[in-house]
Amino acid sequence: MDSHLETAGPVLDLPVADLLDGQPAFGSPHDFRRALELGAFLARIPTAVDVGPGLTFCKSYFLPRTDSGDRYRGHRNQGHSLSKLGYEDRPDQVEQLQLENHTWPEYLPQDVLVTLAAMRRLTISILNATLDHVGAAVDDRRAITGADRADGASWCHTTMNHYRTALAGRPGIFEHKDSGFITLIYSDGPGLEIFHDGEWKRAEYRSDCFTVNYGASLGVLTENLPNPVTAVLHRVPEIDPHGPQHDRSSFTVYLGPDYDSDLLTYAPDGGLVPFANFRDFSLEQARKQRYEFHARL
Ligand SMILES: O=C(O)CCC(=O)C(=O)O
Ligand SMILES: [Fe+2]
């Protein structure tokens, strides 16, 4: 093994939830508490949801387009002018295509759209169940999320991650916290690591489960509540080009505050108050984590 490839740490077992009508159902109330403490859990993929099209897309979007109607390829150079995010080559192994949900019908194949729409509904349900669990009042929900309904969401995007194993000497993805409320991830194999109890641990991987990550906005919102949520610090270390895993793929659905709105927090007296403008907050996070912030945002 090359000297710059880090040896794998212990495996971190994650609580597992079934998604019953989209609601996470854990084996015990203790498991939900542990998920909030860890900032992550596994959610069994409902049988009606097919993640296959999402994975197929992740493994092809970066390839040159040979047929002008092929929405599975050609996304490195497409421009995606309807999106404030779009394609990004990065200094780590991963290249990313990020698209807000309102742009999905324009840029994505129909079957990928179906997968992502189902994942978006699940992510909204999990966020609402989490807000219930921490005691955020239903009347506060629209102010928190920026949605026009108590059980809605405002900002939503997908990230399509392609880890380019041939780019040796770089981490898979730099350590970071996701900036929003919650991210639902499906990946084609292990590799995700979580910082827990002072050390990096390999997150348990199950091909029949999504991984749910809680982000910095939920951490800020709940930091003074009796059940605060941990914004999970995570990374993917370098994938060895000579190892058993070829290029790695994962895709996510992210929900967060709108960039033009305020990130809110529950004050120690229980009142819901502004913490920071979310764009400023995200810029600061990106700076601390050595990320380029999206130029169009
Ligand atoms: O590929 C993974 O498992 C994690 C991806 C990730 O952290 C992200 O897209 O924010
Ligand atoms: Fe992440």
Provide the percentage of residues in the chain whose pLDDT is more than 90.
87
For residue 113, the number of C-alpha atoms closer than 13 Å in the C-beta half-sphere is 11
The answer as to whether 297 is a domain residue is no
Report pLDDT digits (tens) over 130-174.
Answer: 999 999 999 999 999 999 999 899 999 999 999 999 999 999 999
How far apart are the C-alpha atoms of 276 and 283, rounded to whole Å?
11
> 3-state secondary structure string, 108-177?
CCHHHHHHHHHHHHHHHHHHHHHHHHHCCCHHHHHHHHCCCCCCCCCEEEEEEEEECCCCCCCCCEEEEC
Report pLDDT digits (tens) over 179-236.
Answer: 999 999 999 999 999 999 999 999 999 999 999 999 999 999 999 999 999 999 999 9
Q: What is the pLDDT of residue 7?
A: 56
CA distances from 205 to 110, 111, 169, 212, 251 (A): 28, 25, 24, 12, 15
Ligand nearest to the CA of 191: 1
The answer as to whether 254 is a domain residue is yes
- 12 pairs with which residues across the strands? 203
Q: Is the pLDDT of residue 245 over 80?
A: no
Q: Ligand 1: which residues within 6 Å by Cβ?
A: 159, 161, 173, 178, 183, 185, 187, 192, 234, 236, 250, 252
Show the domain range for 183. 11-288
Domain count, the chain: 1
- For ligand 2, the distance from its centroid to the CA atom of residue 1, given in whole angstroms, is 26
Place of tokens 């309904």: 149
Lowest-confidence segment of 64-68, 125-129, 133-137 by average pLDDT:
64-68
Q: What is the pLDDT of residue 244?
A: 80
Give the CATH number of the domain where residue 254 resides: 2.60.120.330
The answer as to whether 252 is a domain residue is yes
